[in-house]
Each structure stands twice: as C-alpha cells, then as structure tokens.
Structure 1
Amino acid sequence: MLLEIDDVSLLYGRIQALHGISLTVNEGEIVALIGANGAGKSTTMRAISGIRPVASGRIRFEGEDITKLRADLRVRRGLCQAPEGRGIFPGMTVLENLDMGAYTRRDRAGIAQDLNRVMELFPRLAERRKQQGGTLSGGEQQMLAVGRALMSRPKLLLLDEPSMGLAPMLIQQIFSIITEINEQGTTILLVEQNAQQALARAHRAYVLETGRIVKSGTGAELLHDPSVKEAYLGVA
C-alpha cells in the first residue's frame, strides 16, 4: 500500500472540515475522490501534502507515518501535488517553471530525461518553452502545473481539479494524458468535480460529502451507481 489515510479529522478554526476519513491508494492505481463543492476534497489533498495539519488520525506513505512531516520533506519522499488553481510562477518561463519542479533533485541526467518526457506528453509546452507562464492559456497553464509536478519524479501524484475551467476538448486531452502518465508507472490520486471523466479513468474511487466518505468502490461501480448518477452525473 502506497498511501493510507486512517481516521483523519481536520479543523479550520472551530469548523471541522474532515470527519474521520479513511482511504487507501495502492501502487499503480488511479484513485479518484469526487464530491460537490465544499465536500472536503481539496482539504483532503492539503492534509496529504502537509499544507494543513490534521487534528487527529494518521497518514502513512510507503508504510511510514508522515502525519507530522513537513510538506517539503513529503515532496522529497515522492509525494507531489499539482494544486487547484494551477499555482504556476507567472513571471517565469515554461522551462524555468519546470526546472522549479525538480528543485529537490541533483541528478542532472535524470532531470533532462524527465524534461524530455514532459515535452513529449505536452507538445504545446515544448512550443512555448521560452514563454512566460502568465501568458499561457488556462489549458496550457494546467499542462504546465502537471508537468512541473512530474519533474519531481513523484511516486504519488496528487492532482487537484485538473479540468477546472477548461473547454470540453481540453478536458478530454488532460484526462487522456493523466491515463498515459499512470500507464507509464506513476500512481495518481485525483480530486475532480468532473465525476464522469474521473470515474471512467479511475481504478477505484471514493465519494466525499461534507467531510465524510459516504461511498467507495471501483470507478466502474460508482459510474453505474444510481445515487452517484443522480448526485454527480446529472442522470436521474
């Protein structure tokens, strides 16, 4: 088991955002976390990446307790996030942004190899390698955010709302690339409001409602679950 979240609760001041959630991610999987706005999806990601401290419960990565480990040390262990809202450096070029993704690494040959891989996955970034991040379109910025995360060579890639604000054609493209990244050997935990695409790509999935996991199963099971269809897929 690569990641194990055991009975984790999290507070924002006096407000409890997560209520004892438990989930697992096995090596090689795409695991999706779906739910409405405010369900606690991004909060779960922040807890895993170490941006928000948990109130109780345990987070284990590769069998080791990382509950109190600093966020930067989690990145060094192979846990990297492409955040909601992309969070690229607008004044830096595409290449400089990607180079920032590899800041924990010293293996220049490996970094060059991964840079080529990112350029192959995202030909648009190769075309715009000298362009400032802030001048890219929304879709290109999303590609850059994912590419930058890949430059750390993560064991687990956390993707937070990768399709947010994108045109339908680009959404399809981003999800195809997510599948390709997984097939190349990267385990993925995916938080996504586009439940249809997420469940179609995921090996397993969890449904989060008001900070609680209310349902879990394979992507296919939840895709055909009547209550999930009604709540998240717009199908009665």
Structure 2
Amino acid sequence: MLLEMENVTVAYGRIEVLHQISIGIDEGEIVALIGANGAGKTTTMRAISGIRPLSSGSIKFAGEDISKLRADLRVIRGLSQAPEGRGIFPGMSVRENLDMGAYTRRDAAAIAEDLERVLALFPRLLERIKQPGGTLSGGEQQMLAIGRALMARPKLLLLDEPSMGLAPMLIQQIFNIITEINQQGMTVLVVEQNAQQALSRAHRAYVLETGTVVKSGAGQDLLHDPAVKAAYLGVA
C-alpha cells in the first residue's frame, strides 16, 4: 500500500476534528474523500502533508512511518499537494510558479521534461507562461496549482477541492485531466464536495462525516448507494 493512515486523530486545541480515521491508498489508484463542509476533509489532507500534527495514530508512506516527518521532507519523499484555494503565487509568472513546484529537485533535464509534460496537459498555461499568476482566471489558477504540484514529480498527488468555484464545463475539464494524469501512472487522492464527479472517476472512495469515516468502497458502488445519493448527490 502506498499510503496508510491508521487510527489518526487530529485536534485543533481541545477540539478533536478527526477521530481515529483509517484510510489506505494503493499505487495507481484515484481515491476520493467526500463529505460535507466541516467533515474534516482538508484536515485529513493537512495531516498527510505534515501541516497538522497528529494527536495519535500513524501515517505510513511507501512503507515508511512519516507521522513525525517535516512537511518539506514529505515533498522530497514524493507527496505533493494542490491545496484548497489553489495557493498560487499571484505576483510570480506562470513559469515561476511552476518552477517553485520543483524547488526540492536538482535534476535539470528531468525538470525540463516535466515542464514540457505539464504544459502539454495544460496548453492554456503555455499561452499564459509569462503572465502573473494573479491575472489568470479561476480555472487557469487551478490548472497552475495542479501543474505546480506535478512539478515535484510526486508518487502521490493530493488534490484538495479542485472544482471549488469553477463553472460546470471547467469542472468537467479538470476531472478529465485528473483521469488522464492517473492513466499516465500517477496515484491521486482527491478531496471533493462535488461527489458526482469524484465518485464517477475514483477507483475507491471514503465518506467522511464529522471527522469519522462512515462508508468506504468502490467509487461506482458509492455513486449508486442510496444513502450517499441522498446525502451528497441531491437524489432522494
């Protein structure tokens, strides 16, 4: 298993946000984590990235216990995140933002290769290569955030709410690209409120409610699960 969270509890002060959650991701999968606002999805991502310390439990990545490993060292190990809200550098050009994704790397030829691959995935970024990130549309900024994360050449790509604030056509486009990235061999964990898109693309999925995993299974199974449909897909 590429990533294994076991009985992970995370608290903000005295408030426990995640309650002993266990999640596993195999190499080559798209795994979705769905749930309502405040369910603990972003906290789960922050725990995996090393931004939030664990109160208890453990996280293993590629067989190594990374529970206490610093966030920057996790990037070097192969964990890369496109955060909620995109988090691009607005004053830096598209090219500079992408270069920042490769800041831990020294393999110039492979970096150039990855830049080419990212720009082939996102032709719009090539058109905007010299523009400041802050002048891009929401959809373009999301592409930039994903492209920047890919520049780290991760083993696991973490995507936190990639469809947030985007028009339906752009959401479709972003998820098409996520599927394409996965077909090229990338393992993906996607946290998403758009359950329809996430479940239809995911090999497996977990449903999070108030910091607890309440359901898990194949993406297609959860997509047709009556309780999931009623709670997250607006279908009674």
Partner Cα distance (1:62, 1:99) in 2 = 26
Partner Cα distance (1:229, 1:63) in 2 = 35
Cα deviation 1:121-166 (Å, max 9, x = unaligned):
0000000000000000000000000000000000000000000000
Cα deviation 1:181-217 (Å, max 9, x = unaligned):
0000110000000000000000000000000000000
The one-letter code of the counterpart of 1:231 is: A
Deviation of 1:58 (Å): 0.3
Counterpart of 2:46 in structure 1 is 46
The one-letter code of the counterpart of 1:175 is: F
SS at match of 1:164: coil
Partner Cα distance (2:130, 2:185) in 1 = 29
Deviation of 1:93 (Å): 0.1
Counterpart of 1:91 in structure 2 is 91
Partner Cα distance (1:19, 1:169) in 2 = 36
Q: Spell out structure 1 runs of 4+ moving beyond 4 A.
A: none
Question: Does residue 165 of structure 2 align to residue 162 of structure 1?
Answer: no
Within 5 Å, which residues of 2 pair with 1:209-220?
A: 209-220=209-220
SS at match of 2:51: coil
Matched positions, count: 236
SS at match of 1:115: helix
RMSD: 0.3
Deviation of 1:32 (Å): 0.2
Counterpart of 1:104 in structure 2 is 104
Partner Cα distance (1:165, 1:121) in 2 = 21
Deviation of 1:13 (Å): 0.6
Within 5 Å, which residues of 2 pair with 1:84-163?
A: 84-163=84-163
Partner Cα distance (1:90, 1:220) in 2 = 38
Runs of 5+ consecutive residues of structure 1 not aligned to the other structure: none
Partner Cα distance (2:50, 2:199) in 1 = 26
Cα deviation 1:75-105 (Å, max 9, x = unaligned):
0000010000000000000000000000011
Identity %: 80
Deviation of 1:70 (Å): 0.1
SS at match of 1:162: coil
Deviation of 1:44 (Å): 0.2
TM-score, normalised relative to structure 2:
1.00
Partner Cα distance (1:119, 1:74) in 2 = 25
Partner Cα distance (1:234, 1:205) in 2 = 18
Partner Cα distance (1:130, 1:68) in 2 = 38
Partner Cα distance (1:72, 1:48) in 2 = 12
Cα deviation 1:25-73 (Å, max 9, x = unaligned):
0000000000000000000000000000010000000111000000000
Within 5 Å, which residues of 2 pair with 1:221-236?
A: 221-236=221-236
SS at match of 1:221: helix
Partner Cα distance (1:185, 1:93) in 2 = 28
Partner Cα distance (1:123, 1:228) in 2 = 36
Deviation of 1:230 (Å): 0.1
The one-letter code of the counterpart of 1:186 is: M
